Amino acid sequence: METFVHDGLTFDVSDTGPADGRVVILLHGFPEDRHCWDQLAASLAGAGYRVLAPDQRGYSPGARPPGRRAYTLDRLAGDVLALATIAGADRFDVVGHDWGAVVAWYLAGAHPDRIRSLTALSVPHTQAFVGAMIRSSQLLHSWYMLFFQLPRLPELVAGRAGERRFVAQLERSGLDESSARRYAVRAATPGAMTGPINWYRALPLEIRNRLGPITTPTLFVWGERDPFVTRVAAERCAGHVVGPFLFVPLEDGTHWLPTGSAAEVAPLLLDHLAGVPA
């Protein structure tokens, strides 16, 4: 499949591996797209998995609804569940990075009957992250989340910054030049950043929704050179998973694990999937 339709929106999706393979859904973060998974998708497809990597809500040109209420976690998770259903998967393995990890954690907590295994890259369980805001310097590392609450200004700043400055900012955080340039093109495209930023603007709507302990078999990988997620947040994650759990810190890993650390993540992910019965 190249696209799927849900909630009146059309999503672009990469579909690799055997059509009858066990379904693994890969969820990108901000400001990424489905191609951040190309290396890991190839490894998974080579091992016989059917890999689905969508451009998520706000990112696909045909899936950019207005207003922050269209970007709450239940709506974002609904898109993923619809993709799995269309692919014929009653249960599936989910892998998420950054904001994609937030959606993956939510899926495992709210829909454990649909999720066979969970792999989260860079971002820990929501309550671990919130707890670290109080008990560490995590709030200082997450200042941009507050800035993104403002109307229109974040998009204006991203557009006026220009591609060169946006690329430089991403590269300083550890992202490769090719990916940074691809994301910078979107940032400079009028109207293309509102959807991705609306993910952040929807955060105040989630304040009362506390994610409970996770029972799904979980792999959490975090880069020790991550400038956005502190060690305290990463290490607190274990306290919010009651099912089988493995935490792997990568010494040379930055925040951008799907691209920068694909060679290290791939064997961890394949081992994790192999350890969960189909």
How many Cβ atoms are within 10 Å of 185's Cβ, its own excluded? 12
Residue 39 domain-assigned (yes or no)? yes
Confidence band of 162 (pLDDT split at 50, 70, 90): low
Q: Which two tokens stand for residue 45?
A: 């497809």
Q: Which two tokens stand for residue 227?
A: 């400038």
| pLDDT mean over 187-195 | 89
Residue 62 domain-assigned (yes or no)? yes
Helix/strand/coil percentages in the chain, nearest 5: 45, 20, 35
The reported pLDDT for the residue numbered 25 is 98
Kindly report the CATH number assigned to the domain that includes residue 127.
Answer: 3.40.50.1820
Question: Which has the higher per-residue pLDDT, 188 or 255?
Answer: 255
Q: Do 171 and 259 touch, CB atoms closer than 8 A? A: no
Q: Collapse the DSSP code of 263 into the 3-class scheme (helix H, G, I; strand E, B; otherwise coil) and give the result.
A: helix
User: What global pTM score does this model have?
Assistant: 0.96
For 42-51, 141-150, 196-205, 235-244, which range has the lowest pLDDT when averaged over its residues? Answer: 141-150
Residue 226 has pLDDT above 90, yes or no: yes
Burial bucket for residue 205 (CB in 10 Å: 0-12, 13-18, 19+): middle
Q: What is the pLDDT of residues 14-64, one digit of tens each?
A: 999 999 999 999 999 999 999 999 999 999 999 999 999 999 999 999 999
Q: Collapse the DSSP code of 14 into the 3-class scheme (helix H, G, I; strand E, B; otherwise coil) and give the result.
A: strand
| pLDDT mean over 176-189 | 91
The reported pLDDT for the residue numbered 19 is 96
Percent of the chain with pLDDT over 70: 99
The reported pLDDT for the residue numbered 208 is 82
Report the distance separating Cα 144 and Cα 228, nearest Å.
Answer: 10
Residue 36 domain-assigned (yes or no)? yes
Residue 190 has pLDDT above 90, yes or no: no
List of residues 6+ apart from 140 with CB closer than 8 A: none
Burial bucket for residue 181 (CB in 10 Å: 0-12, 13-18, 19+): middle
Residue 262 domain-assigned (yes or no)? yes
Residue 258 has pLDDT above 80, yes or no: yes
| Domain around 105 | 3-139+210-274
Q: Collapse the DSSP code of 185 into the 3-class scheme (helix H, G, I; strand E, B; otherwise coil) and give the result.
A: helix
Report the distance separating Cα 223 and Cα 267, nearest Å.
Answer: 16
The reported pLDDT for the residue numbered 153 is 86
Residue 84 domain-assigned (yes or no)? yes
Query: Helices 153-172 and 177-187, interaxial angle, to 10°?
Result: 170
Number of domains within the chain: 1
Q: Which residues pair with 54 in a beta bridge?
A: 13
Q: What is the pLDDT of residues 63-121, one digit of tens each?
A: 999 999 999 999 999 999 999 999 999 999 999 999 999 999 999 999 999 999 999 99
Q: Do 241 and 109 touch, CB atoms closer than 8 A? A: no
Q: Closest Cα partner for 241 from 134, 117, 95, 132?
A: 117
Q: What is the pLDDT of residues 117-154, one digit of tens each?
A: 999 999 999 999 888 888 788 888 887 888 888 888 88
Q: Residue 158 phi/psi, 5° resolution?
A: -60, -40
